Chains A and B, each alone.
Chain A
Amino acid sequence: MSASFHELIRCNGVGKAYPTEAGPVPALGATDLALEEGETVALVGPSGCGKSTLLLIMAGLERPSVGGVEFKGTPLARPHREIALVLQDYGLFPWKTVRRNVELGLKIRREHVESQRVDSMLAELDIGDKGHVYPQQLSGGQKQRVALARALILKPSLLLLDEPFAAIDALTRERLQDLVAEAWRRRRFGLVVVTHNLQEAVMLGRRICVMGNVPGEILDTVENPRACAPDYRRTDEFYEVCRAVRCRLEQNL
């Protein structure tokens, strides 16, 4: 398949099986998924269906056993500088302060680290006063803000979130979802969110892909054009879409 002009990433029949002594264990069935630039997609499905595996393949961190990934029309074989990833356990480095964590990607890429740029990113994510502290001195929500700041400061074309707010309390989770939605409205990056939380999927995914049982593949898609809009979660439409996604999930279990 050839890439369209605005296509950001395309997974062509991507599947993954992990080798074990007892033979290969399938983790992800052959999956097709494509994102336009600035599009947001949420992947939902049962545990172990391969959502995170698909995300890691899209990040260039895992190689698919079958199929391939193209990023902006070029085969993706390793992490790409325009793709950023945020993990559930934050992936912060406890030996670096918040500021050093956020700067790390810029330093690694030999980009000039502008203090003002880091300050404004920390301020945008409401952790402007936390630059000098270590991650273990922060709450879960604050840690995830740092992880988001570290990803967003790289100005990615594609942001991948792997169950980003799973370990965070409900209210903080909603605030962080709003923060991601706001960041998306400002920057219009491509966004893929893997989540178990239906409300999170509906808040952030303009397209919600429902994955089936192990090894999973995308079985159904729910269109959700108002995702990432301010105050969307306070509308009736939001809950209707939540119900629709829930029905599709139950049908496919």
Chain B
Amino acid sequence: MAEKSFLLEVVTPRRLVLSEKVDEITAPGELGEFGVLPGHIPFFATLGIGEVMYRQGESKRYIAVSWGFAEVLGNKVTILAEIAELDTEIDVERAKRKKELAEEKLKTMSADDKDYLKVKASLNKAMTRMIVAGRRM
């Protein structure tokens, strides 16, 4: 494979978040994190909550994503996510509030509560946002 870079597109139902040439990405697959370099074979995976890293030359940027799919095909990676926020867009205050709220709720819940997973996910999302925002340059 001669190509050194490939196209990364991140789409949500609301908008096209990103469409750029990148050299490498890592993404939070549901069954574990995976990385893609140029020349990857066709690959399709569901995504969990976590951060997508993309590298352009020496600089690494991050996107917080939550639930979605990634398709690797030829010279293009498409990520369809329910939520995707660039590190520069994240509202840290909001994430903090959400995190505290979720932690409060979790204290009074047991693992059998029907909302337990929901709150857990919300905590997870808030933490991911904070981590991604922390990577801001």
Q: Does B bind A?
A: no
B positions within 8 Å CB-CB of A: none
